[in-house]
Chains A and B, each alone.
Chain A
Amino acid sequence: MDPNRPPVPPGAARMPWLPPAAGRGFMIDPPPLGRARGLALAAAEPETGRGRGRASAAASEPPVSPFGRGISLPVPEAQVGIARGMLPPVEEKGLGRARGSLSTSLEPQVGMGRGASLFMEPLAEPVPPVKSQMLQLPEAVSGLQEERVEEKKTPEKFEVDIPDPGSSLVSMIRELGIEPSKSWGRGAAPMGRGSVGGLAAAHQSLVSSVGFSSVGAEEPFPEGMTLRGTSFVGRGMVGAGRAPVSPVGFSRGPIASPELPPGPITPPPVSVALAGPPPVPVETTVAPVKVEAAREPLKKAGTKGNSITIGSNYIPIRCKNEAVFQYHVTFTPNVEALSMRFGMMKDHRSTTGEVVAFDGSILYLPKRLDEVVHLKAERKTDNQEIDIKIQMTKVLPPHCDLCIPFYNVVLRRVMKIVGLKLVGRDHYDPSNAIVLGKHRLQVWPGYSTCIKETDGGLYLGVDVSHKVLRNDSVLNIMGVIYQQSPEHFQDECTKEFVGAIVITRYNNRTYRIDDIKWSKSPKDSFTLADGSETTFIDYYRKNYGITVKEIDQPLLVHRPKERSKPGGKQIITGEILLLPELSFMTGIPEKMRKDFRAMKDLTVHINVSAEQHTHSIKQLLQNINSNPEALNELQRWGLEISPEILMTQGRTLPMETICLQSASFVSSSSADWSREVVRDASISSIPLYCWAVFYPRRAAEQAEELVTMFGKVAGPIGIKLERPIRVELRDDRTETYVKSIQSQLTSEPNVQLVVCIITGNRDDLYSAIKKLCCVQSPCPSQAINVRTISQPQKLRSIAQKILLQMNCKLGGELWTVSVPLKHLMVIGVDVHHDVSKKKRSVMGFVASLNSLLTRWYSRVTFQMPNEEIINGFRVCLLAALQKYYEMNHSFPEKIVIYRDGVSDGQLKTVEQYEIPQILKCFETFPNYEPKLTFIVVQKRISTTLYSYGGERFGTPPPGTVLDHTVTNKDWVDFFLMAHSIRQGCGLPTHYISVYNTANLTPDHLQRLTFKMCHLYWNWPGTIRVPAPCKYAHKLAFLSGQYLHSEPAIQLADKLYFL
């Protein structure tokens, strides 16, 4: 437990509806929760349909019926009430009544809200009936009040007219299926917002459907408003995240402040829909086409290439429940404390059943209760009797997005039941730990699992994962560091520990170390949640019976990300201090990473083949499916996990033809052309007339041999090579290198290339050389570790590779593939983050300059943490366009941007914020409107592809693409495995087309991407990501890790960073 937090984990108290793990899960991992909420709200859609359905029924049926229904469920009430404005007077009455069920205090606002919306309406969307209806407004309001009075007298009456639940369920589900309900939300949203917040200005009709839905979801429950206000922060953010126009989305936060009663939300398009008798067709005509398309399955399937049977680490999940029911729970008089609410609900398990998901106001059950259930509870603080009203608000299809968080909670429990331990976010099996005693670490095999909904339905994604845990406490390691370098002790510790993840002796949490407080010790005291002071020593003794042995250790600092707790009430801030003695390191030690031999010991266990991968997954599935307790747990939400992994059809894209200067050849099936590139001349080579080699005296021999070998192999590649200036250094100190290079560059300004032969893995020396040659005295440079050129039998191929690399750095072009698009610019973007997070992030930007895609322009920008990447991006893009114009005397007509390092959660931000800014960037040039395709590149994904043949799983060949079933339902996306796999598993890269005005078809997107994966000149074969991304990555890494500043602009048109 963190000393800075109350001794009882807050998560536990907040989420008693979930087991402890669940509570924690939610806290640790807000995105799923946030998403769940957002989606939850989005799921208001079916209701809208429902409301409409009723209203239209009302048009043909006696008015009693809609009235009764309207009362029975609050959401439709409001919708219908809204609709009234547009409907013939007959409806008005019944609907007015429905509205009447809202509480008194709301009345004025209701009127106001409506008024506002009506006035705004013509601006937004001129709907003819509106004006005539405006006149009826006062009447409507008064009528409403009358009805309310009447309603109070006879409350029981409403219970009578409850519609047959079965039929309403059917209709709801039908509506959900048929209707493009998002369109509804979109159109409605501006009005809703306007009326709620009086934001008449917010008339962009691009407000998110989710945004609307959440407003809609708030609205029917006036009594619960205060509470919902508390949890609103979270929702508001979600709404914003998903909203197409985020600024508007954000403005919703304040609107929904607790004091604000829910205004009626008046969606004009729906009103129109209501007016027409056949609901569905009218709806479709009203809905904006764009939205409609979004609702249809996206066209993302390509056709090129050969079909191939592939498997993936997705396991189909079947939902056997007919539905999941959402209820709204109100406490009268209001109960503020969430924990008390949870407690009261817990006492009524006999009614709700054991399977409950409850967040304090919204309750989900896999079972149907009556429409309204009243329960009694006693508030212990004052013996006040509390009425708990549980009112059904939604019937959700069981695979609904909204339910996925509960399923994931269930899944976590199942993982525990089958004996796995949670470490960080994933589950591991300590009983099968691999112990590497030599390195004092253990590797725990395990799984990273997640239930998600994709184009193909509900799946359990399982990835095989390994956790490296170390047997030593941080204090132990500090001791070792002290022995090794007492003089740089603190610096070394910072290097070793900051950024590392530790677990503690007393809980299962993981913490990232952000800092070390040398001035503190366990003798210091801190304030507990109850306000009392205690020392760390006492705290651990009292709470965990742990005696701190070393009382003079510094403390480790973890700074949690600022985020709101579930419920949005409190922001977690401040520092958590940990004792090195009680903290244990996880992950591969930095020193070990550099130790090739040690890493081999480790990777043997970690890099699993496709066969092992699928075996592990099947093992897990078998463990789950043969464990009655686990099955029972799944059964509670009606889930059934298939015993088999997903098998489907993918495609292998056609092989590409690689073109050298005159030779061309088709890429082999292993996508490797290392032989070909050294046999024939590259597209263009820069003759090396004047270059210098720097080497320490003891590497003189190797240097001489390398230069000789260069001369032998340069011919076939097509490089003209003069003898270099040779500079022998008297020692291999960094200053010696730097001084010699500097004086050489000054005395001989025509030096085209600096080659340094260095001994050992010396980051500081490398950094110094690169800083000098990339920033201070711009000149392409090549550093060569003496070890790589020390083996005579390998020297030839090494020399060839280095020569090719040097040619690239000088501005030569090696090979290309044909891209049948004219006036195209391809851009790659990647961001390098410093591990310790103290330094700025670096964005690398690389843009193609010619039609062969062989000339590249590169830029780097630094940004502070939290600074938007897009600001720097604009500068780079403008510079690249200008450069393109210089070279081609025209601007590119099509621009394809590959952007690496965007998570799923940021996609909307990219779409709504970055892309508009990019488009704005083009306005800098008169009459310039290029077509833009923006593709997000995700490498770190948990999807794995397997080939399948002869009863065995293997790795699929390069060019394998999968564009259905496991793809994201919200975007045009595909998985492409471009590289050839030597060991391990087939990890494809995920590409998401976020924006595509170039109208590239799925085939084009896939093939262009595959082609781009052929163009990384440091590797004669295909790579995992498009070459521009890889170049951008290299550049950002070099700048962030070694240069710490922007490289000289003179180098921008060369691949000096390779």
Chain B
Amino acid sequence: MCRNGSDRMAALFSPPLYLQRYQFVIEYVKRFIPRKVIDLGCADCGLLRKLKFHRNAIEVLAGVDIDCAALRERVNALAPLTIDYLQPSPRPLTIELYQGSVTEREPCTQGFDLVTCMELIEHLQLWEVEGFSNVVFGYMNPCAVIISTPNVEFNPLLPGLRGFRNKDHKFEWTRAEFQTWALGVCMEYGYSVEFTGVGVAPGQNRDVGFCTQIAVFQRDAGVSNGPVNNAVQMEPTVYRLLYRVVYPSLCDNNIFQRTLVCQVLYRAESLKREFELGEQSMQSDLTACAHSLPPDVVAGSTVVYRHRSHVFVPLQHVWTDPKVQALCGNIHRLRQALMDDSRVQLDTDRDAIILPDEGEEEEDEEETGECEEGNLTPSPVVDNSEEDWETEIG
């Protein structure tokens, strides 16, 4: 619904008005850092798609719309990107889409920090608006609500417009009407409100206000209708969950472990390679020199060393990698994490990673290698009779 009428207004506003509305929300998210955001009347999830990128600290993004087809349309654009798997984010993110009406109470919609409701209320019947206020402010009771709606005073400036901006609009409010409603809501549910908007009128027509009027509600401190958690659990779900995706993140233990082990092994392998290169150059210079240090010298050492057919890379060295540090915070946690992981082999003191020494390994397996096994089964009977394709061709 956000883009309704955008055809007509495309010429008037740049960037287009719906993008300006999105941008307004993005800026708000940047400033107030909500964790859980729900968009009512999310239509094709345009705002959610934007917020997915401008997450800041958002961990739950939900969308509600009554039109199932519209929701499904671009649902795939909410799925994690390839890169989200390659480089899991440090923060979790869950995206959920529900089909349902904003005039119904749905337990899942409680406990959000921010509710956005862009160009939605004008699609409700006037008599439904009160129920809507009750659900959003009274029931969902989020910390903040952003509501936008057309400013009917602006309409004369829209070329060729007769009636409402969209056929489905049941009403379009003046600034006064909108503000009256909003202030009423504040009184009733304990919110305070600020009015603003997007879409500035061109030229001298400043007095008509913004094309889209926006009210930003903040819940008054201390006033919370308080989602009594137990009660929430009891209520039955009325919305239909259409889509849910959990982004890969380091908060998932498996993913964290995997990412850490990869980083550690990569670091250890490159240290081992450096060590081997050093060894080689030493060898060529002083072939007579003993190239492996006696084990007793080495215990508790902070240098890479070789023992038998293994290379030992001290954790201390691995720890120097900034990426490992970023993942683990401190070296004890690193040790702890690696201890139970079958992919990493630690020495008995848990001070070093043991890597197999592949330097000596026989590496070639001739591409043209022959099958040596005595596979001398007599070949099947062959048609040895003289053939003449010429006659067959005719």
B69→A545 contact, CB < 8 A: no
A998→B393 contact, CB < 8 A: yes
B382→A657 contact, CB < 8 A: yes
Known interface pairs A380-B7, A505-B83, A654-B382; A787-B73 also in contact (CB < 8 Å): no
Give chain B nearest CB distance to A947 CB in angstroms.
15
Interface string of B356-369 (1 = CB under 8 A from A): 00100101101010
B394 within 8 A of partner (CB): yes
> Which of these binds chain B: A166-174, A279-287, A434-442?
A434-442
A670→B375 contact, CB < 8 A: yes
B393→A506 contact, CB < 8 A: no
Contact partner, A584, options B83, B371, B394, Cβ 8 Å:
B83
Interface string of B41-85 (1 = CB under 8 A from A): 000000000000111100000000000010011101101111101
CB-nearest residue of chain A to B343: A437
Query: Inside 8 A of B74's CB, which chain A residues have their CB?
Result: 12, 19-20
Contact partner, B82, options A508, A597, A982, A1004, Cβ 8 Å:
A508
A519 within 8 A of partner (CB): no
B8 within 8 A of partner (CB): yes
Give chain A nearest CB distance to B309 CB in angstroms.
16
A820 within 8 A of partner (CB): yes
B14 within 8 A of partner (CB): yes
Interface size on A, residues (CB 8 A): 70
> Which of these binds chain B: A36-44, A661-669, A859-867, A1045-1053?
A661-669
A674 within 8 A of partner (CB): yes
A383→B160 contact, CB < 8 A: yes
Give chain A nearest CB distance to B394 CB in angstroms.
7
Interface string of B169-184 (1 = CB under 8 A from A): 0000000000000000
Query: Inside 8 A of A290's CB, which chain B residues have their CB?
Result: none
Interface string of A636-667 (1 = CB under 8 A from B): 00000000000000000011110000000011
B265→A437 contact, CB < 8 A: yes
Interface string of B83-111 (1 = CB under 8 A from A): 10111000000000000000000000000
A525 within 8 A of partner (CB): no
Complex CA gap A323/B80 in Å reads: 37
CB-nearest residue of chain B to A440: B266
Complex CA gap A437/B73 in Å reads: 37
Complex CA gap A430/B86 in Å reads: 9
Query: Inside 8 A of B342's CB, which chain A residues have their CB?
Result: none
Complex CA gap A354/B54 in Å reads: 33
**A:411-425 near B, CB below 8 Å:** 416, 421, 423
B340 within 8 A of partner (CB): no
Give chain A nearest CB distance to B9 CB in angstroms.
10
A822 within 8 A of partner (CB): yes
A349 within 8 A of partner (CB): yes
A743 within 8 A of partner (CB): no
Contact partner, A381, options B7, B167, B376, B393, Cβ 8 Å:
B7
A797 within 8 A of partner (CB): yes
B15→A596 contact, CB < 8 A: no
CB-nearest residue of chain A to B270: A438
Complex CA gap A797/B369 in Å reads: 10
A438→B7 contact, CB < 8 A: no
Complex CA gap A20/B377 in Å reads: 57
B266→A438 contact, CB < 8 A: yes
Query: Inside 8 A of B167's CB, which chain A residues have their CB?
Result: 378
B76→A20 contact, CB < 8 A: yes
Query: Inside 8 A of B325's CB, which chain A residues have their CB?
Result: none
**A:228-275 near B, CB below 8 Å:** none
CB-nearest residue of chain B to A347: B167
Known interface pairs A21-B76, A543-B53; A349-B69 also in contact (CB < 8 Å): yes
B380 within 8 A of partner (CB): yes
B81→A507 contact, CB < 8 A: yes
A672 within 8 A of partner (CB): yes
Contact partner, B379, options A381, A504, A655, A797, Cβ 8 Å:
A655
Give chain A nearest CB distance to B283 CB in angstroms.
16
Query: Inside 8 A of B371's CB, which chain A residues have their CB?
Result: 670, 672, 982
Query: Inside 8 A of A354's CB, which chain B residues have their CB?
Result: 69
Known interface pairs A20-B74, A545-B55; A506-B384 also in contact (CB < 8 Å): no
Complex CA gap A713/B379 in Å reads: 27
A130 within 8 A of partner (CB): no
Complex CA gap A470/B262 in Å reads: 12
A103 within 8 A of partner (CB): no
B384→A657 contact, CB < 8 A: yes
A1001→B392 contact, CB < 8 A: yes
Contact partner, B7, options A340, A416, A440, Cβ 8 Å:
A340
B263 within 8 A of partner (CB): yes
Complex CA gap A503/B86 in Å reads: 11
Known interface pairs A469-B82, A471-B262; A668-B379 also in contact (CB < 8 Å): yes
A437→B266 contact, CB < 8 A: yes
Give chain A nearest CB distance to B169 CB in angstroms.
13
Interface string of B1-14 (1 = CB under 8 A from A): 00001011000001
B81→A508 contact, CB < 8 A: yes
Complex CA gap A507/B85 in Å reads: 13
B388 within 8 A of partner (CB): yes
**B:204-224 near A, CB below 8 Å:** none
B387 within 8 A of partner (CB): yes
Give chain B nearest CB distance to A440 CB in angstroms.
6
B363→A471 contact, CB < 8 A: no
Known interface pairs A437-B262, A666-B379; A820-B390 also in contact (CB < 8 Å): yes
Known interface pairs A20-B76, A383-B162, A421-B82; A440-B262 also in contact (CB < 8 Å): yes
Complex CA gap A1003/B162 in Å reads: 76
Give chain B nearest CB distance to A598 CB in angstroms.
11
B333 within 8 A of partner (CB): no
Give chain B nearest CB distance to A352 CB in angstroms.
12
B83→A503 contact, CB < 8 A: yes
Give chain B nearest CB distance to A847 CB in angstroms.
20
Known interface pairs A437-B261, A506-B53, A666-B382; A423-B82 also in contact (CB < 8 Å): yes
Query: Inside 8 A of B384's CB, which chain A residues have their CB?
Result: 657
**A:433-451 near B, CB below 8 Å:** 433, 435, 437-438, 440, 442
Complex CA gap A855/B393 in Å reads: 25
Contact partner, B258, options A20, A435, A505, A508, Cβ 8 Å:
A435
Interface string of A379-400 (1 = CB under 8 A from B): 0111100000000000000000
B285 within 8 A of partner (CB): no
Give chain A nearest CB distance to B377 CB in angstroms.
6
A820→B387 contact, CB < 8 A: yes
Query: Inside 8 A of A794's CB, which chain B residues have their CB?
Result: 366
B389 within 8 A of partner (CB): yes
B5→A380 contact, CB < 8 A: yes
**A:500-550 near B, CB below 8 Å:** 503-508, 530, 532, 543-546
Give chain A nearest CB distance to B294 CB in angstroms.
29
B76→A416 contact, CB < 8 A: yes
Give chain B nearest CB distance to A285 CB in angstroms.
27
Complex CA gap A810/B297 in Å reads: 62
Complex CA gap A961/B79 in Å reads: 43
Known interface pairs A382-B160, A797-B370; A471-B55 also in contact (CB < 8 Å): no
A19→B73 contact, CB < 8 A: yes
16 additional A-B residue pairs with CB within 8 Å, beyond A416-B76, A508-B81: A21-B76, A378-B167, A437-B265, A438-B265, A438-B269, A503-B83, A504-B83, A508-B82, A670-B375, A672-B370, A801-B368, A820-B390, A821-B390, A1000-B389, A1004-B392, A1019-B368
The 5 tightest CB contacts between A and B, nearest first, are A437-B262, A545-B54, A430-B85, A437-B265, A820-B387
Using a CB–CB cutoff of 8 Å, the interface residues on chain B facing chain A are 5, 7-8, 14-15, 26, 53-56, 69, 72-74, 76-77, 79-83, 85-87, 160, 162, 167, 248, 258, 261-266, 269, 343, 358, 361, 363-364, 366, 368, 370-371, 375-377, 379-380, 382-384, 386-390, 392-394
A-B contact pairs, 28 of them (CB 8 A): A19-B73, A20-B74, A382-B160, A416-B79, A421-B80, A423-B82, A437-B265, A469-B82, A471-B262, A503-B83, A506-B53, A507-B81, A508-B81, A530-B14, A530-B15, A545-B54, A545-B55, A584-B83, A584-B86, A596-B364, A654-B382, A655-B380, A657-B384, A668-B375, A674-B370, A794-B366, A1000-B393, A1001-B393
